Amino acid sequence: MPRVRCVPVLVAAMVLMGPLALRAQTSPATVGAPVSPGARTFGGVSEDHILEAIRTERIVGRQQVGSTSVNIHLRLHGDVDAAFKPRAQGHFEDYRAEIAAFRVNRLLGLQRVPPAISRTLTRAQLNLSATTPVLADRDGSIRGAAIYWVPVLRESMIDRERDIARWSSWLSQRGTVPADQLARAEEISSLLVFDYLIGNWDRWSGQNVPMDAAGHLIYRDNNGGFGEPWVDSLNQRVLRWLRRSQRFSRGVIDRARAWTEASVRAEMSLDPDTAHPPLSNAQIASLLRRRDTLIAYVDALVHQHGAAAVFPWP
């Protein structure tokens, strides 16, 4: 099968955005095996197929694309590519947050976070210079997160000051969501919930909320999440963003409400690197405490405004 590679338009700008850059779209219909009815997908592609490919496929090319951290675009044999975020100086185990964020996305019933899975490579496989600040284990192997390389990413134009003010008014009980913006408003509301739960304080620092070829938001670049110890200053920072929304998807909130420590651990255990799970015990405890704060906030809104006003989306 011929592979479709990056187009030059906007590539330089998107490289500055992190590991997932703009490239020509490969039609989901041509990627992987047929998707079974009811199976999870990402961008129309089987999630299971993506995870298997980015974890196991042979590397046929690589290019470092990170600007503030080590991020490597891996060209893989087959029909999908990956970004690879390794353990690195200054970031240490942050790569695991990308995997945990994907798993939280699944726990919420969302399909907005690019599939991510642990993968172990060598410096030779990555073709890294001796000065690249990756951290290797004693055997020389380099652990990291392999993340689906989304074929097309475009600017969503929702993180500029005027755009934030616009959608904040939509999500307020005093405002009205335009009929042609209902889907976008739900995606933003669910993003605010997602970011609060994972403790991602870095979403709105610039160009971290792109959209895919179909115009749906992609919740990417999540390695700022799950900080520990979880201090009150960080909590207040992400809580301010959550409070911009007073309207939510009922399904997303119901799924978060149903979480238990056992269900969170069960989801995290699906990552194959059992020796280095996506979340520590302390991170799971903080995640569940943030969940409790989220539910208390939403329940107070329901008490004040009624369920129909707070849950316009199923």
Q: How does pLDDT run across 200-238, given as a tens digit for each residue?
A: 998 998 778 999 999 999 999 999 899 999 999 999 999
Q: Is residue 156 part of a domain?
A: no
Largest Cα separation within the chain, whole Å, is 60
Q: Is residue 2 part of a domain?
A: no
Report whether 171 contacts 143 (CB < 8 A). no
* Shared domain check, 248 and 182: yes
CATH code for the domain of 290: 1.10.1070
* Shared domain check, 288 and 184: yes
pTM assigned to the model = 0.89
Residue ranges of alpha helices (H) inside the chain are: 11-15, 47-56, 95-107, 123-126, 161-171, 182-198, 232-242, 250-258, 261-268, 281-305, 307-310
Q: Is residue 65 part of a domain?
A: yes
Q: Is residue 155 part of a domain?
A: no
Tens digits of per-residue pLDDT, 21-54?
Answer: 434 344 444 566 567 778 999 999 999 999 999 9
12 or 230, higher pLDDT:
230
Question: What is the tally of structural domains in the chain?
Answer: 2
Q: Is residue 174 part of a domain?
A: yes
* Shared domain check, 180 and 259: yes
* Shared domain check, 295 and 170: yes
pLDDT band at 89 (very low <50, low <70, confident <90, very high): confident
* Shared domain check, 184 and 132: no
* Shared domain check, 206 and 101: no
Of the three residues 118, 148, 178, the one that is the final residue of a domain is: 148
Tens digits of per-residue pLDDT, 164-210?
Answer: 999 999 999 999 999 999 999 999 999 999 999 999 998 998 778 99
User: Domain residues for 37?
Assistant: 11-148
* Shared domain check, 167 and 136: no
* Shared domain check, 103 and 130: yes
